[in-house]
Amino acid sequence: MMLDLLVIGAGLTGLMAALRAAEAGLRVKVIAKGMGALYWTPGTIDILGYLGAEERAVQRPWERIHELPERHPYRIVGVERAQEAIEWFRIRTAELGLDYGGRRDGDNALTPSPVGAWRPSYLLPAGQRAGDAEDGRPMVIVGFQGMRDFYPHLIARNLEAQGQAARAAVLPWSVLSERRDRNTVQLAEALDEPKTQQRLIDALRLVVKPGERIGLPAILGREAHSWVLTALTQELNAAVFEIATLPPSVPGIRLATALRRCLEERGVRVEIGMEAIGFHAQDGVIELVETATSARPLKHRAKAFLLATGGVLGGGFDSNPSGRFWETIFDLPLTTPQDRRRWFRPLFLDPRGHPALRGGVAVNDAFQPIDVAGNVVYTNLWAAGGLLAHADPIAERSLEGVAIASAVAAVEAIKLGSFAHA
Amino acid sequence: MAPVSWHSVDLTLDECIKCNICTSHCPVSAVTDLFPGPKYVGPQAQRFRKGGQLRSPDHSVDYCSGCRVCNEVCPTGVRIAELNARARAQIVAEKGLPLRNRLLGRNELLGKLGSFAPALANFALHNTFSRFMAEKVMGIAREAPLPTWSTSGTFRDWLKRTRDQRLKSHKKVVYFHGCATMYYEPFIGKAAVVVLEHNGYEVLVPEQNCCGLPLLSNGEFDAARTYHRNNVSRLAGYARAGLPIVGTSTSCTLTLKEEAPELLDYHDEPATTLKLGTYDIFEWLRELYEAGELRTDFQPLPLKLPYHAPCQQRAHRIGKPALELMALIPELELAESHARCCGIAGTYGYKVEKYQIAMDVGAELFEFVKAQGQDARYTACDSETCRWQLEHGTALPSRHPIEILAAAYGLYDLERRDVVAEKR
């Protein structure tokens, strides 16, 4: 049976698009080279955190969308539809046991980053909400001796410098594990065990002062997360929150796992380890995409294809030293400068971002890739997420919002029968 | 020992962005401190390895089971498992190899020897005393699920015996049986033959060697090269003539396709022709199905069947064709395992210092099977050593998907593990 839709990429964009398509009754499959970029992200849903060269974080993201470039994915989707998409995400993830929420007034929340900077986010997982700057109560940032990738003193000092009362505390490694070395995922799995939870509660009792909020690395359980969070909050009678760590990032993994399971239950296959290496098209219609195997390329036929391979980090683009910058599967036309000297501004942290990162795949109002003249490149190809042109999701702090809004908009367009002739 | 070369595989290490996705999925580092994880012993230690260098920087690479889960999940395409296999070969080149690993690498020889007097061989190997001695003297774990030799003759004996009943057809396919089917589990080969014949194909079984994987995973690259050279010279001609070479052992076919050419830098025309002509049997049957040429006259098989696609199957990167085709069988209730690895990883779990690690790795899979409840009377898995480990860890009999398919065609008895209605 022919697939209606092949989604390439298993990040937030690909998974949400597949879910939306499955809900619409399409036969859909997801293929991806490896585990998606959710494993690297803090698990928050960022809509718009920074705008242009403004140093202050955006307070009300939806009210500032109109200031983005005209062909920014949000402007194509429109504020109202983007808001609906985010609300759909919130409802679906709630059904999956992930409680996403934000500030009541629709403002961005501000929570500590792994280096103690305030990160603007629109929706936070339950485990991160007590870290909001708005709360004002003092914080104790608790780390573990010898844990790589989490530095409580650095976080506390930087928060102090920004006017948030915070101090650091360090617990012995043995609270978490008898093993020599563990990464964040393994520590989260250790905290799924009641024994480890109890050891952590007992150890925290000795360091936490009344009235303090407790900030911990984001390792509070992988499967039993909400249970661990509730147990800590109740037993210690204090607000508890997670701070996302360097990758692998457990809150992002919780989201990826929940979405993959949800898709599996709906009969949607998510096949990992499949690197797209080629395709066949005729008369502007893509017939199949090929992935690398141990011998011959494997052919994936579908009526429609959605490209959701992400930006530079996700693998959607590649480049070479001679200045060529290309989209990795279909070699689509890009808005990115094809001159290496114009990829980056001189300062790495330039608040305006870098041309190489704002460039990408230009699409029409139906999220179909177009060339410079505005013509659709392939009649049955759509694109969504981090590879879209005119957005710089990392500088803007718009990664998840762009992912969800464009995934939904692209699938709506596919549903509208745009591929009826394909 | 020939020097181990560093080519295409080595180049992928520059793709590593240190994201740790591999380490968070590695089933071995999850259960033991002896293996720090793929990122550390793979792309990171690789920076300190140079061709011709005398000392290897990280011997913990020997605790890599070679399951390739790291390759599967890596978002940037680093060939971590291959880096590790080459690093292990480097250590073997430096330090030599214990007798045990030499022996475990030679399952074809062991198979042949035991088959002279299988009952005696089974008794000699499978008694408490000799397993105790094998552990003490050789370091082969006494509890490890070693196979038993077939006492009803080898697969080739059966082929000879039933020569007159075998289908002749202008449509032909070559079958690569592997050592396990030849000496321990001839019924897997029988099931494959009757399924292929049922679909109108004559099955050719030319002379063939061990694929060499056990040698590759024990770091004996030179001996593996000899095996592979023999297979290439015996089989490439069939591939060149357009005949598909299908195998029921996912690790043998993976070796013919990719492992041997890549690890041994063996890329001449005949080797490449063989690579491109080799298929996992379900990969090939799926192509028949997609072309509308697979017979689907399946009888209902009212079973609940937990299926585990083994690591070596997933390393083919062809999806799960066995699952897709078994899904066509009426009343067969499949449950798909997402466990990372059964732990055995070829000969890894046979070794006394690794047996417990292998069992701890497999726990995830054993628990998945247990969770399927009493209704599940069998498990299914494409790889022989994994089936033995599954049986060891769950106490349920395990079957190859080709046995399931043969049974659904009404050609095979799942309980007795033999073809039915064989004309005598």
| pLDDT for residue B51 | 62
Rounded CA separation A139/A215 (Å):
7
**A32 has which bridge partners?**
A272
φ/ψ of A277, rounded to 5, equals: -125, -5
Cβ within 8 Å of A, B 233-272: 254, 257-258
* pLDDT number for residue B55: 67
**B243 token code pair:** 């005949």
Q: Report which of residues B244 and A180 the model is more confident about.
A: B244
Q: Which two tokens stand for residue A50?
A: 């920074």
Whether B316 contacts chain A with CB within 8 A: yes
Q: Which of B318, B328, B367, B368 to mutate to test the interface with A (most CBs of A within 10 A)?
A: B318
Indicate whether B106 pLDDT > 90: no
Which residue would you say has higher pLDDT here, A203 or B12?
A203
Q: Point out the least confidently predicted range of A115-124, A321-330, B154-163, B169-178.
A: A321-330
**Interface contact B75-A37, CB threshold 8 A:** yes
Contacts of B385 (CB under 8 A, 6+ apart): B180, B251, B344, B345, B346, B347
Question: What is the mean pLDDT of the segment spanning B40-44?
Answer: 88
Which secondary structure element, helix H or strand E, spans residue A31, and what is its range? Answer: strand A28-32
Among B24, B36, B317, whose Cβ lies nearest the Cβ of A248? B24
- As beta bridge partners, residue A213 has A139
Is B344 in CB contact (< 8 Å) with chain A? no
Instruction: Say whether A273 and B71 touch across the interface (CB within 8 A).
Output: yes
Query: Using CA atoms in the order B65, B68, B71, B74, what is the torsion angle rounded to 10 degrees?
Result: -70
Burial class (CB in 10 A: 0-12, 13-18, 19+), A376: middle
- Residue among A34, A183, A294 whose CB faces B23 most closely: A183
With 50 as the cut, is the pLDDT of residue B352 above it?
yes
Which tens digits make up the pLDDT trace of A376-401? 999 999 999 999 999 999 899 999 99
Q: Where are the alpha helices (DSSP H) in A371-422?
A: 393-396, 399-413
- Give strand ranges (E) for A146-230: 166-171, 213-217
Q: Say what the pLDDT of residue A50 is.
A: 95
Q: Can you tell me the distance from the alpha carbon of B31 to that of B122, in angstroms, rounded to the nearest whole number? A: 33
CB atoms closer than 10 angstroms to residue B297: 8
Nearest CB to A180 within list B33, B276, B279? B33
Tokens of A78: 């429109």
Task: Give Cα separations from A287 to A3, A378, B291 (angstroms).
Answer: 11, 10, 16
ipTM value for the complex: 0.91
Tokens 């774990």 belong to: B141
* Cα–Cα distance, B350 to B346 (Å, whole number): 8
pLDDT digits (tens, 9 = 90+) for B304-326: 999 999 999 999 999 999 999 99
Q: Write out the two tokens for A258.
A: 């929940």
Orientation angle between helical segments B107-116 and B118-125, nearest 10 degrees = 120
Packing angle between helix A225-236 and helix A194-207, nearest 10 degrees? 30
pLDDT at A45 over 50: yes
The tens digit of pLDDT for each residue in A294-309 reads 999 999 999 999 999 9
A-chain CB neighbours of B276 within 8 Å are 295-296
Backbone angles phi, psi at A291, to 5 degrees: -115, 155
Confidence band, pLDDT 50/70/90 cuts, at residue A313: confident
pLDDT at A351: 81
Quick one: how far is CA B251 from the chain centroid?
3
Spatial distance between the Cα atoms of A107 and A123, rounded to a whole number of angstroms: 10
* Whether residue B5 has pLDDT greater than 50: no
Given a cut of 60, is residue A419 above it in pLDDT?
no
| Cross-strand pairs, A216 | A242
pLDDT band at B9 (very low <50, low <70, confident <90, very high): low
Interface probe, candidates A294, A309, A317, A320, chain B, greatest B C-beta count within 10 A: A294
A74 contacts A68 by C-beta, under 8 angstroms = yes
Distance from CA of A31 to the nearest CA of B (A): 10
What totals of helices (H) and strands (E) does chain A contain, helices first?
12, 17
Determine contact, residues A387/A360, Cβ cutoff 8 Å: yes
Which helix (DSSP H) or strand (DSSP E) does residue A277 occupy?
A: strand A276-282
Which residue reads 């680093």 in tokens? B78
Q: For a pLDDT cut of 70, what percent of chain B falls above it?
A: 95
> How far is the C-alpha of A374 from the C-alpha of A366, rounded, in Å?
12
Structure tokens at A398: 């718009």
- Rounded CA gap, A408 and A77, in Å? 9
Residue contact A295–B278, C-beta within 8 A: yes
DSSP A35: S
User: Is B77 or A232 the better-scoring residue by pLDDT?
Assistant: A232
Residues in A whose CB is inside 8 Å of some CB of B read 32-37, 39-40, 179-181, 183-186, 189, 247-248, 253, 269, 271-275, 291-296, 298, 313-315
Please report the pLDDT score of residue B52 as a whole number. 62
Residue B219, pLDDT above cutoff 90: no
What is the DSSP secondary structure assignment for residue B418, as one 8-state letter? E
Before B302, cis peptide (omega within 30)?
no
What values do phi and psi take at A415, rounded to 5? -60, -35
Token pair 């969504």: residue: A384
Touching check for B74 and chain A: CB below 8 Å? yes
- A79: its two tokens: 């504020």
Residue A328 phi, psi (nearest 5): -75, -25
Alpha carbon separation from B233 to B77, B239, B241, B247 (Å, rounded)? 32, 11, 14, 17
Amino acid in position A126: A
**A2, burial (CB in 10 Å: exposed 0-12, middle 13-18, buried 19+):** exposed
A275, A294, A298: residue with CB nearest B254? A294
In this predicted structure, the answer to whether residue B149 has a pLDDT above a threshold of 70 is yes
- Residue B205: what pLDDT? 98
Contacts of B238 (CB under 8 A, 6+ apart): B174, B204, B206, B245, B277
* Separation CA B178–CA B175 (nearest Å): 9
Question: Looking at residue B416, what is its pLDDT?
Answer: 96
Of A152-166, A195-209, B60-74, B319-333, minimum mean pLDDT range: B60-74
Residues B398-409: tens digit of each pLDDT: 999 999 999 999
DSSP H stretches of helix in B255-343: 260-263, 269-277, 281-290, 311-314, 321-326
> Which pLDDT value is given to residue B56?
66
- Measured in residues, chain A has a length of 422
Q: What value does the mean pLDDT of chain A take?
A: 95
Do the Cβ atoms of B231 and B208 come closer than 8 Å? yes
Give this prediction's pTM.
Answer: 0.94
Interval A77-106: pLDDT, tens: 999 999 999 999 999 999 999 999 999 888
Determine the Cα–Cα distance for residues B227 and B249; give it in Å rounded to an integer: 16
Q: What is the pLDDT of residue B3?
A: 43
Predicted local confidence at residue B7, as pLDDT: 53
Contact A271, A242 (CB under 8 A): no
